[in-house]
Amino acid sequence: MNTYQRYSKEWRVRVSRGWFKGGNIPHNKGVPISIETKIKLSHSLKGKPAWNKGIKMTEEQKNKLSKLFKGIHRSTKTEFKKGQFLGNKNPARQLSIREKISVVKTGVPHFNQGGAYHPNWKGGVTKESEKVRKNLEYKMWRRAVFARDNWTCQKCRVRGDKINSHHIHNFADFADLRMSIENGITLCKICHKEFHKTYGLKKNTKNELQRFLENRISLKNI
């Protein structure tokens, strides 16, 4: 049985024999941690609570830390100077600097931030349909449909309102027609909602759209 009371002076003297001695150089100093090691560490610590979780500091400890760090500056180069106010004079806000940063970063992948390396990665649970709607080809298809229809709703003929690109043969059931411009038509948000409310979200056809467009009374004036 341990005769030393934990955290007592005697206990600290006993366990400190195996502690790192001041002045010694760590064996891994200057050696960067690889991505694989970071992932392993993340998995090993995942779900484990911190050793001090739920333990509140006493007022004595708070006062001691406050006095210990009072007046200490981590870096005189980066610390905020009294009376200093950069505002829009901050170099990073200048258009020329922002353009340089944009040119340097354009096309450069963000390592440790994409796919399985992103902190919000959940094992690839994104739906296939969502991936398609977010890719560049789909965005170009959408813009091409709007441009062909002159950014005008083909139901109520309102131009420049909140518009959607509607698939004549619906998105889910006709995968081979998703990027066909002939399979797209411009509808405003209200008309688009009204169409799917009437004909549903699946197995939509061209005949349904023709019947829907026969009555061109603006739904916004009803």
Looking at the 3D structure of the chain, how many domains does it have? 1
In a domain, residue 73? The reply is no
CA distance 193 to 184: 16
- pLDDT, mean of residues 117-130: 72
Q: Rounded to the nearest 5 degrees, what angle is found at the Cα of 13, between the Cα atoms of 7 and 14?
A: 90
Please report the pLDDT score of residue 222 as a whole number: 32
For 24-53, the pLDDT digits (tens) are 787 788 888 888 898 898 888 888 888 888
How much helix, strand and coil, in percent to the nearest 5, is found in the chain?
A: 45, 5, 50
- Model confidence, pTM: 0.43
Structural domain span for residue 185:
152-217
Q: In the 8-state DSSP scheme, what is residue 182?
A: G
In a domain, residue 113? The reply is no
Please report the pLDDT score of residue 10 as a whole number: 81
Per-residue pLDDT for 89 more than 80?
A: no
In a domain, residue 172? The reply is yes
Task: Name the band, by pLDDT with cuts 50, 70 and 90, for residue 221.
Answer: very low
- Strand-pair partners of 188: 163
Q: Which residue in 96, 188, 99 sits closest to 151, CA to CA?
A: 188
- pLDDT, mean of residues 182-209: 89
In a domain, residue 33? The reply is no
In a domain, residue 207? The reply is yes
- pLDDT, mean of residues 193-209: 88
